[in-house]
Amino acid sequence: MSVIAHKNTILLKELVKTDFKLRYQGSVLGYLWAVLRPLLMFAILYIVFAKVLRFGGDIPHYPVYLLVGTVLWSFFAECTGQGIHSIEQRGDLIRKINFPKYIVVVSATSTAVINLLINLCVVVVFALLNGVEISWSWLLVLPSVIELYVLALGISLLLGTINIKFKDIGSIWDVLLQAMFYAVPVIYPITMVTAVSPAIAGIILTNPIAQVIQDVRYNMITKETVISWGYTGIWWSLASILIVVVVMVLAVLYFRKKSPYFAEEV
């Protein structure tokens, strides 16, 4: 490893540590919020949609099914939310030190990755207590999580760069997140959509977020889960992966074009 690469690695590690510590600094429960936040959200959704509205009665291990969707969605929302504002928030550092600017975005999103790893441990314990059987397909959860992170990182790089000049981007993204929460099958089974409109269900499953959530549920909880390649066919299901690739490529190209001017603009 070259000296420059070694210095960049050290800087990334220090920024990740700092971001993670600052996130929970001054909080009474501290790092426990990394687990409590998605669990509390899950509890509310479970009471409202599983107990009151009776969603998911035909799905095996629906509580785990719902928890998986909640954890993955929370990860994506946290990752993009932190990433979009990371360049703006690290303006002082960018003006003082010359280093690859992508490190700022990666460090901000890495905090969400740490929280996700903690929450996935909770999911595993919850799944075992709920009677879900361990299988080799659990290993396929990792590629799905990586795909979701690449999408979130691409969005963070792209919108974070735009956010330097147009400060409304963060607020607009928050609104879009609220809309997307109901546009992907986090709280409701996708079977509710397939029964009404198979075409709309196919469009929803093309969304990379929905595709990842359903794939993780399929590989970890129940093979009765509707997944994109089984529903729309293998070739059409590749569209979601193509979307991730396109978003990341565009984000990297735009970020590389604008990053030399960050010090002047932030």
Q: How many CA atoms lie within 13 A of 222 on its CB side?
A: 17
Quote the tokens at residue 208: 């990379």
User: What whole-number distance in Å separates Cα of residue 137 and Cα of residue 235?
Assistant: 22
At residue 143, the pLDDT reads 94
DSSP assignment of 168-225, as one string?
THHHHHHHHHHHHHHHTTSSS-THHHHTT-HHHHHHHHHSHHHHHHHHHHHHHT-TTS
Give me the percent of the chain exceeding a pLDDT of 70.
87
223-255 per-position pLDDT tens digit: 888 888 777 777 777 889 999 999 999 999 999
Sign of CA dihedral 255, 74, 61, 203: negative
91-143 per-position pLDDT tens digit: 778 888 887 888 999 998 988 898 898 888 888 888 898 888 888 999 999 99
Average pLDDT over residues 188-200: 86
Q: Is the pLDDT of residue 27 over 70?
A: no
199 compared with 3, residue with greater pLDDT? 199
Outline where DSSP puts E strands in the chain: none
pTM: 0.89
Listed ranges 10-14, 38-42, 174-178; the one with the highest mean pLDDT:
174-178
70 touches 186 (CB < 8 A): yes
Flag the least confident range among 2-6, 64-68, 191-195, 244-248.
2-6
